[in-house]
Amino acid sequence: MREGTNPARLGKKHSEKGFFHHVIVPVYVPNLEGYYKDGLEILKRCLESIYNSVHDKTFISVVNNGSCDAVKSYLNTMHQDAKIHEVIHTTNVGKINAIAKALAGHHFELVTITDADVLFIPGWQKAIYEIYENFPRAGMVGTTPLSWHCKYLNENVFLDNLLNKKFKIRAVKNPQAVAMFYKSIGWGFVNPQIHQEKILSLQVNDVIACLGCGHYTFTIKPELLYQFKQNHADELLSPKNDRDFIDIPSVAYGHWRLSTYENYTFHMGNTLESWMDEEIAKNKNPKDLALAEAPQFATKKRNKYYVQFKKYVVRQLLYKDFIFKKLLAHKGLTQEQVLKFMNR
């Protein structure tokens, strides 16, 4: 029998305690051998860097996606120490489905999804907010600017800004950070120097945003994550999942894929290196992580049929090599630099 009234029925509403920015970290470290031998140490540095760099209205969720007992124990300790707000333990359901578990039951104004081998430095949230505040069509924003991301599903940006004088080639703000990223993932370029020196970018007021956004860490508006709630990803890890669940929805209504001008995140990979601890020590005590109130982010959408039309026009015309080379030259590259930029 039941006696009395369940306190949960007394009309209390679900409260997010003032949080408005959700950080989600799916973690898969099945063992501490071979490829994963430094996995736990890399994860520790990732989560410590997040904890040390976010403001007090950030809600941190970690999904243990079938990791070993050592990782599970560490995450439980982080949760007990209140360094993360939520830890979800599950079998390996794949990256996309793990993210869906963290999204369930929450609604925040912005969501950052990051791999567990990313090192954050203070200032990344402020830089992202400045882009959302100044670029109302920004949908997905990264914190590692990379020149070769500029064309990928960015037809919206190109056609919307074709005649914009502040849409142009600029010098890369932090060439060393870009070089470190390329090295960390083992990607080689025929002409690597040009991609460490020049990047396509936009400017509104005094805020510069670079074209393109990667997957290893990004921030996105929650309304663009509807695929996570409607579908299930069959594959554990695949580029197709990233495209179907993240990329395509992020541009479906005319949103732009952008990155911060300065580099705020580093890819650590699966091997522990001395620079990681040096970077963490350097940013151990940021000045002020308290935030009085949430920024106001405007959203501008375009009709999805018009977006499809733009996509067709840009791909059929602007993205053709001959025309795109002309565009790069018009936006600030020399003829020699254009050839190097295209031949990566």
pLDDT digits (tens, 9 = 90+) for 166-182: 999 999 999 999 989 88
Task: Quickly state the pLDDT bin for 22 (edges 50, 70, 90).
Answer: very high
The whole-angstrom separation of Cα 325 and Cα 323 is 5
Please report the pLDDT score of residue 9 as a whole number: 46
**236, 94 in Cβ contact below 8 A?**
yes
Q: CB burial class (10 A; 0-12, 13-18, 19+) of residue 50? A: buried
Phi-psi sector, 260: left (phi>0), alpha (psi -120 to 50), beta: beta
Chain centre to alpha carbon of residue 152: 15
Please report the pLDDT score of residue 11 as a whole number: 47
pLDDT of 245 > 90? The answer is no
The whole-angstrom separation of Cα 40 and Cα 117 is 10
Give the residues across from 51 on adjacent strands: none
The whole-angstrom separation of Cα 62 and Cα 212 is 26
Please report the pLDDT score of residue 238 as a whole number: 58
**3-class state of residue 317 by DSSP:** helix
pLDDT digits (tens, 9 = 90+) for 257-306: 999 999 999 999 999 999 999 998 888 766 556 676 677 777 666 667 66
Pairing assessment for the beta strands 118-120 and 217-220 based on DSSP bridges:
unpaired
pLDDT of 115 > 90? The answer is yes
Q: Of 261-265, 286-290, 309-313, 317-321, which gets the smallest average pLDDT?
A: 286-290
Average confidence (pLDDT) over 148-162? 86
Average confidence (pLDDT) over 13-24? 77
Average confidence (pLDDT) over 58-76? 97
Task: Quickly state the pLDDT bin for 14 (edges 50, 70, 90).
Answer: very low
What's the mean pLDDT when you consider all of the chain? 86
Please report the pLDDT score of residue 57 as a whole number: 93
Please report the pLDDT score of residue 232 as a whole number: 53
Q: Of 18-27, 61-70, 289-298, which gets the smallest average pLDDT?
A: 289-298
pLDDT digits (tens, 9 = 90+) for 193-203: 888 899 999 99
Please report the pLDDT score of residue 13 as a whole number: 45
The three-point CA angle 312-316-320 to 5° equals 140
pLDDT of 183 > 90? The answer is no
**279, 248 in Cβ contact below 8 A?**
no
